[in-house]
Structure 1
Amino acid sequence: MVANRVRRVVLLAAAVGFAVLAGGPVRAADDNKELREELLKLNSITDKDAQRDKLRALAKDKDKAKKLVTEAGKMLKEAKGKDNPFNFNGGLIVARLAHFNKQYDIAEPFYEALVENATKIKSGSKMVDAYEGLIDLYWETKKYALVSETCQKFVDDMGPEEYERAKPFILERLVQSMAKEGKFDEALGLVDNLIRVSAQADWYFLQTKGWVLREQGKLPAAIEAYNSALEKLDTTDALKGEGKDQMKDRVRYILTGLYVDNKDVDKAAKHLQTLIKRNPDNPTYKNDLGFIWCDANMNLEESEKLIKEAIELDTKEREKLKKEGKLDEVKPNAAYLDSLGWVLFKQKKYKEALEPLKQAAADDEDGSHLEIWDHLADCHMALGEKKEAIAAWEKALKCEDLTKRDGERRRKVSEKLKKARE
């Protein structure tokens, strides 16, 4: 037994020696050094456009980006109680890169350090950047109590002009996080007070009230609130010109979703037709109108035309972004492909429908949606491909619910799957 242990130790020592000779631990140390040197260079990027460009460049190489973030996290831990190796510029780039990579456990302490740094030097713009990053992170990870707590801290503190100007938007997020916590009475009480005291911005908080009511499931009341916001926007002097038009478009677009949820396709379509008239090159509005019509078995030929126009417009925009270096590859929009497949399905063109539906579902980033996989399964069933349909419905049920509609769809998918297995 002793001899065996000695032999194992000798073999282990030999293996370690071989790894060193082969560039194992030494190479790893060199890699860490190179990563740290690259990370520290981020401190010198002061211009916001340059920071954005650098962040985009780093995010392109996903594997290296994760290594950089991991190493930055180690550096921050090592510096605890000492001088932070990252100044605000470098720390913000790392925090946003970690956030983008969903390395939340590293992004959070970076954002917290940024808040502390910016507050200490009383830089309004930096305080806003740091707080907004932290609030967005908590929101994305569904830590709504922390969203409320952080928003309240922001509102209670005083800061420079840029900081004070951001407070209405933070108050809106506070109202929304309260609603997400299920504190609807508190959220509505706060937003009603904001409407009363904001004579020139009552339209803004009216649409916030609509958001809360929608979250609460009170669709008619939500529709009323958003329509009131639209009316107030017409009369306000706080916004003018293009800014006012853009905000009205935003409210109209939200109303289309509410009307669809409330089973009023005609009113939803009317708003989308207005939006298309005002923005003829916007693919989203054309796709949405085509989809809601075909989903309701209305105007199928016109729906197909609109969806195809949306795909063409979206492809042109993506090609432009790629040419400008803002996009790595041009690929079809999964949601638009799903719409195309669905309108073809509704016209009983099942073989034609299958390809765009399969392409939509195959998109790793945007195709993991319950509705897309449900549509694909329906198409397989229509073609007599029961095995493939069952597999698609099983995949659908593994997708996360992204909207309130998904809960009802999940119930229907479960019923379809049960019936198909019988």
Structure 2
Amino acid sequence: MDDARVRCGLNLFAILSSFAVLSCSTVARSADEPVDEPQPGSIQTQPGDPVAEPLDPVRDRTEKADRQLDAMSWFGVAKLRESRGDFRGALDAYRKAVELDPSAVAIYRGLVPLAFSLNETDDGLKYALKLVDLDPGDAGLMQQLARVLVSRGQVAEAAGLLEKAANAQTVDKKSAQYVSLQRDLGVLYAAQGDNEKAAGAFTVLLEALKRPEAFGLDARQRSALVSDAETTYERLGQTFLDAGMTDLAVEAFEKAAETRRGKTGILQYDLARVYLKAGDAEKSLEQLEAYVKDGRTDRGRAAYDLLAEVLAALGQEAEIDERLEAIVEQDGKNPFAKLALADRYAKADKLDEAAKLYETALEEAKDATGYLGLADVYRRQKKADKLVELLARAAVAGAPDQLLTESIARVTEDATLTDEILAAGRKGAESKPPKTDFASAYLLGKLAMQAERYDDADVFYRLAIRIRPDRAAALHEEYGRNLLLADQYDAAATIYQDALNAPADEGATLNFMFRLSQALEFAGRTDEALATVEKALTLAPSAPLLHYQKGWVHFHARNWDEAAELFRQVIEKFPQDADTVRQARLSLSALYVEQGEKEKGEQVLEEIYASDPDDPSVNNDLGYLYADGNKKLEQAESMIRKALASEPENAAYLDSMGWVLYRLGKYDEAASHLEKAVGLPTGNDATLWDHLGDVYSKLGKADKARDAWQKALELAKDEKSPKAEDIEAIEKKLKDGEAQDQ
């Protein structure tokens, strides 16, 4: 009896609340009793009645009408099966119905919630999006679907649906539904970093909170919006501030203070910040003074950095240290005021005073930037014995990688200090047992890499791996990558091979095989690189990236025919993997250019550009080819500027910009881009220096041109596969320059 009872009150899909829950009826049958159901196109008759004869139609139905009738028959089957609890069977029937009539809204309204309830999420989403196309006025459905898309990480697609919903003719712009849509849009825009759009959406929300009756919001709805963590007055204020809408930011933060829904200290700080941004430094100072008087520490050292900024805006910069000293004296347990004052002492070369403040503050607050500040003081005081420990503490406390790297770089500028630190580190590492902890070993490894002391780096990284074998994969990855960037290819290959010898999951194994093939090929060990890729393919024969990598190895080894064929195979076999196919097409274009077939290279890039005109790499590469061919120069400049806007520190993009400006005769501007390019870590390239020499020559700077060409010649001869024609061209420029000097 229990097996035959049909369950009622089925919750089809909680998120998609706009769909009606299908009603059920309880039907009891014996387990062996057969269940009759009509077949599509048949007529249900009474038992014993004769079969009804079909009527002869006056005119024949069209094929479309036949399909629609068949679709409705399957729709009826789906409903019947659903009422009997055969949900999988019902789903199959719905699918057949929608296949026969893909424009029937009623079918989708039955199909979509059932698909979601059976965890057929991909199908449910596909059919739901089709339903949205068929019924663009169903804003509620679109809003619910947007939430499903967000749960799948498809934020941009979700925002697109919400925009469509908000613009639907069925949505009243003065309704609670419109406010809800704008609320969701604002949250999604903010998540994507689009502060301007987020602020636009939140403007509607703020207006609704001020005048709820104008939007038909009842007390419950208004309370829910105010209590929503994503749309607090503070969050709105921050968004408005980030978008440069200071008046609205002030209004939102003042509302937060008025309703006291935020922490008092945080609101005082936020109001001080927004008042300063609005140009009212006096009001800003009032809020900060209240913050200090209340003994608040909610915003850490940022509040005291803001105090310094406000006093400077009021022309009271000379009072900053005095104010901070007074705060420290009044509240000796406030570590953040001490850290802010220590920073100022350090900048003023009051190193002993700074060190004392840092040390006492760091006893109370484990502040990453505080550790870095004290480390910098010790560096200037030549206190090698304490430096590594402080840098290690900074790393443990969560110091940003960039700040940590900059601190290490400053240490390595002092060769004597670096030698002392590494010698002491090796002594600790080689003692039995080692006296160096994990954090210190890791920092010493990074420092040794920065100082190009590769033997020392190997000692420290390997020690870190032994101390924390659970971090082995990440350490092998980082150490190997650093060696590749330092052109230590054989050493990198050894590290990646070591990683493969350690236990790891299949994903990590494939990653290290991929990296190993790179290192081996860069080291000139092409056969070993190819063997590594082939071995990886035995583990993942359908991995597009591994098939691409095989082509890349041949490309780098200048085996043009093999590389071209492999890239074409990737494009043909894996159209679903857009990223890998794109990379294969870019590589195929580069291959054509290397072979002197620039027009074919341009054609490949133009095809990619046509489908994705915002792709930075394509804009740069195609723009550069146009510039190099001295054609379409205005278009090339526009394309390269788009690429450079996405990565202002990209040496290749800067070179492209310099070269197109050179072609356009804008030599001064070209020089500034190329000078910046060659000054970057990745800018030490023969082509870049050659271009810079050409620009200097046009500017009449003969000595600088000669120096740049000489550098280009050295780098061109140093390349793994030197190009005779490039070397000859640079030598000719140098010779012609000497002739002009004479």
1:28 and 1:389 mapped to 2: Cα distance? 38
The runs of 5 or more residues in structure 1 that have no matched partner are: 1-25, 236-243, 316-331
Report matched runs for 1:75-114 at 5 Å.
Answer: 75-79=424-428, 80-100=430-450, 102-114=452-464
CA RMSD of superposed structures (Å)? 3.5
1:82 and 1:43 mapped to 2: Cα distance? 26
2:466 and 2:686 mapped to 1: Cα distance? 41
2:706 paired residue among 375, 390, 394: 390
1:371 corresponding residue in structure 2: 687
Say which structure is richer in helix. 1
Deviations 1:83-121, CA, capped at 9 Å, x for gaps: 4444334433443354355443432221111232234xx
Name the stretch that deviates more: 358-367 or 302-311.
358-367
Asked whether 1:218 is paired with 2:551, we answer: no
1:307 and 1:186 mapped to 2: Cα distance? 38
1:356 paired residue among 652, 665, 670: 670
Q: Quick one: structure 1 residues 182 and 283, their matched pair in 2 at CA, closer, same or farther if it must change by over 3 Å?
A: closer
2:585 and 2:435 mapped to 1: Cα distance? 47
Residue pair 2:654, 2:673 contacting (<8 A) in 1 also: yes
Report matched runs for 1:11-410 at 5 Å.
Answer: 31-42=383-394, 44-45=396-397, 50=398, 53=400, 55-61=401-407, 62-64=409-411, 72-79=421-428, 80-100=430-450, 102-119=452-469, 123=470, 126-157=471-502, 159-161=503-505, 164-196=506-538, 198-201=540-543, 203-234=544-575, 244-276=577-609, 280-315=613-648, 334-347=651-664, 349=665, 352-361=666-675, 363-365=678-680, 367-382=683-698, 386-399=702-715, 404=721, 408-410=725-727
1:374 and 1:128 mapped to 2: Cα distance? 41
Q: Quick one: structure 1 residues 336 and 156, their matched pair in 2 at CA, closer, same or farther if it must change by over 3 Å?
A: closer
Of all paired residues, the percent bearing the same amino acid is 26
Q: Quick one: structure 1 residues 356 and 251, their matched pair in 2 at CA, closer, same or farther if it must change by over 3 Å?
A: same
2:650 and 2:553 mapped to 1: Cα distance? 30
Deviations 1:344-366, CA, capped at 9 Å, x for gaps: 4334x2xx224322542255225
1:419 and 1:27 mapped to 2: Cα distance? 49
Deviation at 1:313, TM superposition (A): 4.4
Deviations 1:268-300, CA, capped at 9 Å, x for gaps: 334434544555444333122111112123322
Deviations 1:199-221, CA, capped at 9 Å, x for gaps: 222x2222221122122211122
2:56 corresponding residue in structure 1: none
1:325 corresponding residue in structure 2: none
Name the stretch that deviates more: 259-268 or 36-45.
36-45
What SS class does the counterpart of residue 166 from structure 1 fall into?
helix
What SS class does the counterpart of residue 374 from structure 1 fall into?
helix
1:383 and 1:361 mapped to 2: Cα distance? 14
Deviation at 1:166, TM superposition (A): 1.1
2:457 and 2:451 mapped to 1: Cα distance? 9
Name the stretch that deviates more: 382-391 or 74-83.
382-391
1:188 and 1:356 mapped to 2: Cα distance? 41
Name the stretch that deviates more: 261-270 or 107-116.
261-270
Q: Quick one: structure 1 residues 117 and 69, their matched pair in 2 at CA, closer, same or farther if it must change by over 3 Å?
A: farther
Deviation at 1:35, TM superposition (A): 1.7
Q: Give the AA of the match of 1:416.
A: K
What SS class does the counterpart of residue 667 from structure 2 fall into?
helix
Deviation at 1:56, TM superposition (A): 1.8
What SS class does the counterpart of residue 308 from structure 1 fall into?
helix
1:166 and 1:196 mapped to 2: Cα distance? 15
1:415 and 1:169 mapped to 2: Cα distance? 45
Residue pair 1:337, 1:356 contacting (<8 A) in 2 also: no
2:382 and 2:485 mapped to 1: Cα distance? 35
Residue pair 2:667, 2:699 contacting (<8 A) in 1 also: no
1:378 and 1:281 mapped to 2: Cα distance? 30
2:434 and 2:698 mapped to 1: Cα distance? 61
Name the stretch that deviates more: 65-74 or 29-38.
65-74
Q: Give the AA of the match of 1:360.
A: L
Q: Quick one: structure 1 residues 402 and 94, their matched pair in 2 at CA, closer, same or farther if it must change by over 3 Å?
A: farther
Residue pair 1:276, 1:285 contacting (<8 A) in 2 also: yes
Q: Give the AA of the match of 1:111.
A: Y
1:42 and 1:150 mapped to 2: Cα distance? 27
1:302 and 1:411 mapped to 2: Cα distance? 31
Name the stretch that deviates more: 134-143 or 210-219.
134-143
- Higher alpha-carbon Rg: 2
Aligned length: 355
| Higher RCO (C-alpha under 8 Å, 6+ residues apart) | 1
2:731 corresponding residue in structure 1: 414
